[in-house]
Chains A and B, each alone.
Chain A
Amino acid sequence: MEENRQGVTIVHIVNQRLLEPHLSDDLTRRLCALIEGGALCLLIDMGAVARISSVFFRSFIVAGKKANEKKVKIAFCNLTPVIREGFVITGMDKLFKIYESEGKAMGELGE
């Protein structure tokens, strides 16, 4: 589910568990389509996600590479502590900005 606000495309991930490999392909396609479609900044809201497999980190890295080519920003918000720890261990926090909440993210990213 996506919404556009103040120049930011907010992608709300609604799945509680991001574990099934085929869903990661869907997510990769969805994020890349938004980047190709002209989005300037993607904010990925992980608030509903309780568990995630690293297969989905691949989706974010693939989208991040495309975003880098197109000068599009990608950021994340509302990560659980364990998912945030996973981002830190894998260095994802160095590739993408992470915000504690959607409000804090919009305060920095919104026009």
Chain B
Amino acid sequence: MNNSLQNNTKPAKFVLETVADADHLEKIISFIEQSLAKLGIQGEACGHICVSLDEAVTNVVMYAYPKAKGNIRITIERVNDRVLIEIIDSGAPFNPLNHPVPDVSASIEKRLIGGLGIHLMRNMMDEMNYRRIDGKNCLSLVKNIGGA
């Protein structure tokens, strides 16, 4: 691990912009894993961030660009004991915060299919914010990592 990160003195940031489609998922996943490793994020916090990013990225890949190809930009930054993540796309407007909370106590007969990814993100991250700016979806996620 980088000593400057251990000492909480220097922020570090990694950025990837690429095509948001299934063919680029492997590249995106590798970027996420390598960035978190370089930032010294481990254990449960790393698991929570990976799950949340997987959900956010999958949403963009599946729904943001139904008719044409478009890009996704991911920024992962560590500032002291916080991991700040931003996911930006120019696709169809989608505010995940408006998505209804699924009834996770419903029986299998009454279970609705969908909405679980956003529910996971809400539960695994400490902050989740959305803005629509200049025709772009900007999703911000924050994870407090304590001494990770």
Cα–Cα, bound, A65→B106 (Å): 12
Given contacts A86-B120, A89-B123, are A19 and B113 in contact (CB under 8 A)? no
Interface stretch, picked from A1-9, A29-37, A41-49, A90-98, is A90-98
The residue of chain B having its C-beta at the shortest distance from the C-beta of A55 within the complex is B58
Q: Are B109 and A54 in contact, CB atoms less than 8 angstroms apart? A: no
Q: Are B111 and A95 in contact, CB atoms less than 8 angstroms apart? A: yes
A89 contacts across to B, CB distance below 8 A: 104, 119-120, 123-124
B135 contacts across to A, CB distance below 8 A: none
Shortest beta-carbon distance from A28 to chain B in Å: 10
Shortest beta-carbon distance from B25 to chain A in Å: 6
The interface residues of chain B, by DSSP majority, are classed as helix
Q: Does A100 contact B (CB under 8 A)?
A: no
Interface residues contributed by chain A, number (CB under 8 Å): 27
> What are 20 A-to-B residue pairs whose CB atoms are below 8 Å?
A17-B29, A19-B29, A22-B22, A53-B54, A53-B58, A55-B58, A55-B62, A58-B116, A61-B113, A64-B111, A68-B108, A81-B44, A82-B48, A82-B50, A85-B47, A89-B119, A90-B102, A90-B116, A91-B106, A95-B107
Q: Are A65 and B109 in contact, CB atoms less than 8 angstroms apart? A: yes
Shortest beta-carbon distance from B28 to chain A in Å: 9
Given contacts A19-B25, A20-B22, are A91 and B113 in contact (CB under 8 A)? no
Binding site for A on B (CB under 8 A): 22, 25, 29, 44, 47-48, 50-51, 54-55, 58, 61-62, 102, 104-109, 111, 113-114, 116-117, 119-120, 123-124
The residue of chain A having its C-beta at the shortest distance from the C-beta of B116 within the complex is A54
B116 contacts across to A, CB distance below 8 A: 54, 57-58, 90
The tally of CB-CB contacts under 8 A between chains A and B is 74
Q: Are B120 and A54 in contact, CB atoms less than 8 angstroms apart? A: yes
Q: Are B117 and A21 in contact, CB atoms less than 8 angstroms apart? A: no
Q: Does A62 contact B (CB under 8 A)?
A: yes
Q: Are A21 and B22 in contact, CB atoms less than 8 angstroms apart? A: yes
The 8 Å CB contact of B108, one of A21, A22, A58, A65, is A65
Cα–Cα, bound, A80→B116 (Å): 18
